[in-house]
């Protein structure tokens, strides 16, 4: 497996390069990389956000419905992948953006939803958001999207 996908360390070290490649090859796409410096000028990963411009532009042709999902990334470096998807006019999943976070915290959910509002949803109104029953998601959706959201529903 390591011959195909590198080691955990190499894969994680390549993440900034991959995100920069996404940004450089898709000039209007949005890539935000949060890190912090630790001893000996080492950089540690905190969180990353990326959304392709084509996905953001195409959102206007989707149903006014988005789904927020998360999954654990397993391996040496534990993290979470957060995904926002819409549904196009053919009722097919339409990926909007992706985030990688080290852990689920109120700060990370606030950051995630704020960037969703700022770069993807914008002034979109009457939108239905489907998410898990995470208390932080519910609180921040009410705070960040107070009048714009028509519905916030929960998946089981």
Q: What are the boundaries of each domain within the chain?
A: 2-154
Most confident of 9-23, 80-94, 108-122: 80-94
- Going by C-alpha positions, the residue among 118, 119, 80 that lies closest to residue 99 is 80
Which residues are CB-contacts of 50 (< 8 A; sequence separation ≥ 6)? 19, 22, 23, 29, 30, 31, 32, 97, 98, 99
Task: Check pLDDT > 90 for residue 90.
Answer: yes
Confidence band of 70 (pLDDT split at 50, 70, 90):
confident
85 vs 114, higher pLDDT: 85
Three-class secondary structure of residue 107 per DSSP: helix
CATH topology of domain 2-154: Nucleotidyltransferase; domain 5 (3.30.420)
d(CA 12, CA 135): 30
Average pLDDT, the chain: 81
Q: Say what the pLDDT of residue 95 is.
A: 92
Which residues are CB-contacts of 18 (< 8 A; sequence separation ≥ 6)? none
Three-class secondary structure of residue 89 per DSSP: coil
Q: Which two tokens stand for residue 3?
A: 């011959």
Three-class secondary structure of residue 135 per DSSP: helix
153 vs 87, higher pLDDT: 87
Mean of the pLDDT values across residues 74-90? 86
Can you give the pTM of this predicted structure? 0.78
**Considering only 6-10, 23-27, 47-51, 127-131, which range has the smallest mean pLDDT?**
6-10
Confidence band of 3 (pLDDT split at 50, 70, 90):
low
108 vs 122, higher pLDDT: 108
Q: Say what the pLDDT of residue 136 is.
A: 75
Task: Check pLDDT > 60 for residue 156.
Answer: no
Q: Which two tokens stand for residue 22?
A: 């996404």
Task: Check pLDDT > 60 for residue 73.
Answer: yes
How many of the other CB atoms lie within 10 Å of CB of 115? 20
């Amino acid at each position: 497996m390591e011959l195909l996908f590198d080691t955990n360390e190499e894969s994680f070290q390549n993440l900034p390069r991959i995100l920069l490649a996404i940004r450089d090859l898709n000039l209007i796409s949005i890539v935000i990389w949060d890190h912090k410096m630790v001893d000996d000028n080492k950089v540690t990963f905190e969180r990353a956000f990326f959304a392709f411009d084509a996905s953001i532009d195409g959102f206007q042709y989707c149903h006014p419905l988005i789904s927020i999902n998360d999954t654990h990334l397993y391996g040496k470096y534990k993290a979470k992948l957060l995904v926002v998807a819409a549904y196009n006019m053919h009722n097919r999943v339409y990926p909007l953006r992706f985030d990688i976070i080290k852990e689920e915290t109120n700060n990370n959910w606030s950051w995630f939803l704020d960037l969703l509002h700022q770069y993807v949803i914008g002034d979109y109104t009457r939108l239905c958001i489907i998410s898990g029953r995470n208390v932080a998601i519910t609180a921040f959706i009410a705070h960040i999207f107070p009048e714009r959201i028509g519905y916030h529903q929960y998946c089981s």
